[in-house]
Every structure is written in C-alpha cells, then in structure tokens.
Amino acid sequence: MIIKTAKESGLALCPKCHKLNDIKQISGNNARVECSRCRGMFYQRKPCSLQNTLAWNVAALIAFIPANIYPIMIVFSMGIGEPNTILSGISEFIDYGLYPIAVIIFTASIIVPLIKIIGLFLLVYRVHTGVRLRPDKHSKFYHALEFLGPWSMLDVFVVALLIAVVELGFVTSVSAGPAINYFTLTVIFTMIAANSFDPRLLWDKKQGCENAKE
C-alpha cells in the first residue's frame, strides 16, 4: 500500500496560518504559493534548503575550530592571568572541584555542537543520496537537533556568570577570551543551518526511491 504525501496530492501547508492549500494548478517546487486564507506567500518546499543548510553548517564547523583553539576565558590568580581554552577550562573547574560546571561546559561546548554539526551533515547527505533513508526516524532526529541548538549557549552564560560573581579560592577574577566570539558564531550558524533544513525533503526522497523501485 502506497501512501501519498501532501506534495504528491497537490497540497501545501501555509506556515503562517497552517491552512492546507490546494496547489494542483501550480507547477514547479520553487513556485510561490498564495494562501487562500491569510493571503500570505510561501513555498511548498524551502528553496535551496540543502545548499543553505550545507553552507551554514560548514561556516559553523569553521568557527568551531578557533572556538576550541583560542582562550575562552582568562583566569586571574594572584594577579597573574592564565588563558584557558574550553578543554583547559574544564580541567580548571575539575581542579577546583566544580564538577557540575565542568560537565555543563563540556556537554554544551563540545558534545552538543559536534552532534548538531555532524547530524546536519548526515541529514543533508541522506536527503541528497537517499541512502538507507528512514524518514520517520530522521525527522525525529532533526527535531532533536533543532531542540538542542539553543542549549549550546549554556557555555556562554556560564562564563558570563563566572565573570560576574565567582571567586574560586585564590582566583580573584575571570574574564572572557576571544574564543567566546567564535563559539557564539558556531551556535548561531548551527541554529540557522537547522532552520534552513526542510525535513519534508526526507519524505520526498523516500517516496522517490520507492517509486523508482516499482
């Protein structure tokens, strides 16, 4: 039994008022559609979704490199400043016994960005090639990536909090390093990349593969 998608049935959902529009008379995926209810203009599929997602994701990967190379914070102890990268900063928090902060920074600044960058590359690759495409599972995976995006900013908030209020033994002050700017760009770029990706393409590709097999 073959279940048709809304696209194959000539239907499109308005992203503004969520009205299901009949667009059988419109040809081409890149044609703009006027909603019959709110009169807003939209596309049945996001134009150049894969290209935009790939471009923003590459930009995020490039920004992620200096974010981990340059100091993200400078810890002043006994009047002497010691620059710390993300990894050395995590080690610093462990030395002071601040394990929850170390875990938060490691998760938010290393694990989450890498999962999101690699995950978006995987989704783009799967849509482009259709290799072992599981649209239901991949759609859930995409929404999980979309949910994780803003939580990467926890690292920035933790550093900002430390700058304002923390005193750790002999540590007299903490200031932000240049890596904080690159890390912020990484988070912003991954959020834009996730927003540029159209998960409906997963189902389009799957349906195309099934038709080809028949």
pLDDT for res 143? 80
pLDDT for res 105? 79
Going residue by residue through the chain, which has 214 residues, state the pLDDT in tens, using 9 for 90 and above. Answer: 455 666 667 777 777 787 878 777 665 556 777 787 888 787 777 888 889 999 999 999 999 999 889 987 777 766 677 787 888 878 877 887 878 878 887 888 888 889 899 999 988 988 888 766 676 777 788 888 878 766 766 666 766 666 665 555 555 666 777 888 898 898 889 989 988 888 878 777 655 444 434 4
Whose tokens are 């803003």? That residue is: 150
pLDDT for res 163? 60
pLDDT for res 1? 46
Q: Provide the sign of the torsion angle of the four alpha carbons 154, 160, 164, 170, taken in this order.
A: positive
pLDDT for res 30? 65
Distance CA 74, CA 81 (A): 6
Whose tokens are 């979309």? That residue is: 146
pLDDT for res 108? 80
pLDDT for res 101? 77
pLDDT for res 57? 95
Domain ranges for the chain, please list them.
1-44, 47-213
pLDDT for res 22? 77
